Structure 1
């Protein structure tokens, strides 16, 4: 039987008649072309309008930024990232960073195939990082939890875990588990996930083993450079940790609509890094607004605050689309450029095929430790963003997933059937890089005179995001 793989989550999850009507109205009137204000991103705080907005943008991603956001984000580009003059380097190490690893039904069939074309970018670094978002359980538990696949739960079997986290004997070094899905299978799922990571030699962050680890950083050293990892998630999908279990996940009110941003947990971990003499601090933050290509101004203020507190690199995840990299020169050290990746997108997720959902970003970063004027410092020496995308196709009726480097397929824009899809992904990359090209600007949706080109409205992209060539399986 011929089966069409879904383009986006709105085609899979059941929405009420009222929600569908609201989405149709918003689409017709273009009500949500800009980010909706006073909107919840934490499931625990969501109202009807928040859910309707979620369904809307899952198919029609938000490609405009809040006022003043682009001007701040694109103040500097990656050319600002370099070692300062008179800096004497004595050691260096490399880091790869990527976004969400999320289950898909049958993903185990893609083991040792999924990362085939991006393995060097991910696994050849001294430390490789990703956000792991599918608690592990026995296969029958997973089947019962997911049911017919029309659920927001993101749990997976041990076979799927193996496909998601390694390639031909190599594994991610560090996986963040502090995210909104970590409690989808309760505390038993947290424990099983940690056991799987321990068995495969992966360092898990964000899920303390006992109360004494809560608010502590994870420390590891490579090539004489001591790295401190800190972590937090904005929410837990309305799941609750009660009584003596509250230590199990690093969760904080980072984007609540009701209370100010709470940075106490992250600041406590930063202080732990300082006490343990870390050379470099990396913050893994699960936050943001799904299907929006720009962070909110509130996030920018939070990120800058964390950098000034002592964080050197922020790795963001959750929105399922890529967002800009910001190169922020710190006040605490005029030579230091703090890099903020607001969202690296999702490396894997379901069998969704829309360009905004299959596109993600891998960062290859080189750190250098040394001294300047007698002071010991560790800086980012270089950074290379690598856009990648999920290629989804069928082999004998079995869906397969493989990650590809976008740069390896740009020639297809003029010569093959996937031309529109590849071209659209390239336009998204240009959008979050602050340089939408002339073709985009000519589509009749340019921003008002005097507005930054990085905030240009790419209306054709938004309107057509859910009309991509379908992927079919027999």
Structure 2
């Protein structure tokens, strides 16, 4: 492993002397060792203190939660997932869900190698879902956009796109594109990305093609189960769509510093799912506070509200670190447990050493469709969580990235990965999930 690889964004992104001084002061006096209140997460709302806090936690992730959040999230564990005694199964499907897919320098060299160790948990499911965060363009456009590497742009080449989304003839079923980086290359970049996904046989969600699709869900029927997918992002990094093209991305003020959480767009999509008689609803939501291991209380409230309105599974992304899974027993159906994955972390990104940044999770979910007391129902039957991490090796001058299952490396005698980093990642997993939630088996 190269010793010169930067560990965190704070190592490469330019900061002012004032920002560096604020970070140093906060570090010395422990000022930001818990979630900072009244802070912005949307780039267009960020002021000096918000940016300084972002740089601080990119290297020193926040391990504490807001008051009472942990107690709410850990009220139930996966043992709450039980099919009703009177349930009669008629069909089953499996789902995999993972977090952010983001460009990395030289990623194209890892094609058909990147997912080698995790292809079973990613691609053997009936439906596979992830968040795609790097609009596609020609190499010349990419080089101009990224420049010297200190840019926040997340665009990638067509070869990198192939490495991010495919493995030996298999590919993701659906990719969420409602996120804060999807317009890094403008509407043209979005269109190119979406077109390429269509050619690859991948369904995009979160980017309507026409105005009348805005607020509509994506529907997929698999093995006799009709699943609705809804989506939204908290922001677009300040990119302003023209008035006549506001429909291009499902974006809403989910976590504004200045206004209350706006769930109207997601609620509209839930109603669309119900009108189309979906049997299970999955929300792919791009939100949260980066580099914090726990969601904010307002997110917990919003997630509960969405579950009560009809969502059955929430797949969250954006914080770049893992966050808890909540098993929420609904009021609308006493037999239904809504599962909320507040953040699955970043499956792929251009950081290779910092444990909090290389660690992410893959969910494997089994859905059961059937009849309970004469009423059609589709429930989550089982869920397994696979902590994974990014590793790199070198073939000549080419850097190769591969995703590894964390518990394949729990034995320090057989793992080539640094034992201290493995222990740190295991500690983060236990912090946000607890040992009873995690699939510790190998393979």
TM-score with structure 1 setting the length: 0.90
Structure-2 residue corresponding to 1:87: 87
Secondary structure class of the residue paired with 1:328: strand
Structure 2 unaligned blocks of 5 or more: 437-443
* 2:222 is aligned with 1:222: yes
User: Per-residue deviation at 1:394?
Assistant: 2.1
Residues 346-401 of structure 1 show CA distances to partners (whole Å, capped at 9, x for unaligned) of 00111342000000000000000001110000000100000000012222122211
Structure-2 residue corresponding to 1:106: 106
Contact 2:351 2:358 in 1 (8 A): no
Q: Distance in 2 between matches of 1:6 and 1:324?
A: 27
Query: What are the residue-to-residue correspondences of 1:6-21 with 2, within 5 Å?
Result: 6-21=6-21
User: Per-residue deviation at 1:435?
Assistant: 5.8
Q: Distance in 2 between matches of 1:161 and 1:415?
A: 30
Contact 2:96 2:125 in 1 (8 A): yes
Contact 1:353 1:392 in 2 (8 A): no
User: Per-residue deviation at 1:255?
Assistant: 0.2
Structure-1 residue corresponding to 2:397: 397
Query: What are the residue-to-residue correspondences of 1:42-57 with 2, within 5 Å?
Result: 42-57=42-57
Secondary structure class of the residue paired with 2:390: strand
Contact 1:235 1:253 in 2 (8 A): yes
Contact 1:225 1:279 in 2 (8 A): yes
Structure-1 residue corresponding to 2:294: 294
Secondary structure class of the residue paired with 1:34: coil
User: Per-residue deviation at 1:433?
Assistant: 1.4
Residues 421-441 of structure 1 show CA distances to partners (whole Å, capped at 9, x for unaligned) of 0010000000001469xxxxx
Query: What are the residue-to-residue correspondences of 1:315-394 with 2, within 5 Å?
Result: 315-394=315-394
Q: Distance in 2 between matches of 1:414 and 1:291?
A: 30
Structure-2 residue corresponding to 1:187: 187
Q: Distance in 2 between matches of 1:85 and 1:26?
A: 54
Structure-1 residue corresponding to 2:146: 146
User: Per-residue deviation at 1:417?
Assistant: 6.4
Q: How many residues align?
A: 435
Query: Does the C-alpha gap of structure 1 residues 166 and 201 become closer, same or farther in structure 2, counting only changes over 3 Å?
Result: same
Contact 1:413 1:423 in 2 (8 A): no
User: Per-residue deviation at 1:345?
Assistant: 0.2
Contact 2:136 2:161 in 1 (8 A): yes
Contact 1:344 1:362 in 2 (8 A): yes
Structure-2 residue corresponding to 1:466: none
Q: Distance in 1 between matches of 2:321 and 2:79?
A: 24
* 2:429 is aligned with 1:408: no
Structure-1 residue corresponding to 2:241: 241
Q: Distance in 2 between matches of 1:86 and 1:181?
A: 46
Q: Distance in 1 between matches of 2:382 and 2:413?
A: 29
* 2:306 is aligned with 1:306: yes
Q: Where has structure 1 moved over 3 Å in runs of 4 or more?
A: 413-417
User: Per-residue deviation at 1:81?
Assistant: 1.0
Q: Distance in 2 between matches of 1:64 and 1:428?
A: 11
Contact 1:413 1:420 in 2 (8 A): no
Secondary structure class of the residue paired with 1:412: coil
Is the deviation greater in 163-172 or in 344-353?
344-353
Secondary structure class of the residue paired with 2:407: helix
Residues 74-109 of structure 1 show CA distances to partners (whole Å, capped at 9, x for unaligned) of 000011112111100000000000000000011000
RMSD (CA atoms): 1.3
Q: Distance in 1 between matches of 2:285 and 2:190?
A: 18
Structure-2 residue corresponding to 1:71: 71
Structure-2 residue corresponding to 1:61: 61
Q: Distance in 1 between matches of 2:7 and 2:274?
A: 46
Structure-1 residue corresponding to 2:418: 418
Secondary structure class of the residue paired with 1:64: coil
Query: Does the C-alpha gap of structure 1 residues 162 and 242 become closer, same or farther in structure 2, counting only changes over 3 Å?
Result: same
Q: Distance in 2 between matches of 1:116 and 1:225?
A: 29
Residues 318-345 of structure 1 show CA distances to partners (whole Å, capped at 9, x for unaligned) of 0000000000000000000000000000
Residues 150-190 of structure 1 show CA distances to partners (whole Å, capped at 9, x for unaligned) of 10000000000000001001000000000000110000010
Secondary structure class of the residue paired with 2:97: strand
Contact 1:295 1:342 in 2 (8 A): yes
Q: Distance in 2 between matches of 1:415 and 1:131?
A: 29
Structure-2 residue corresponding to 1:284: 284
Contact 1:116 1:403 in 2 (8 A): yes
Q: Distance in 1 between matches of 2:203 and 2:83?
A: 29
Q: Distance in 2 between matches of 1:280 and 1:171?
A: 22
* 2:252 is aligned with 1:252: yes
Secondary structure class of the residue paired with 1:220: strand
Query: What are the residue-to-residue correspondences of 1:110-121 with 2, within 5 Å?
Result: 110-121=110-121
User: Per-residue deviation at 1:281?
Assistant: 0.1
Structure-1 residue corresponding to 2:136: 136
Contact 2:352 2:390 in 1 (8 A): no
User: Per-residue deviation at 1:414?
Assistant: 9.2
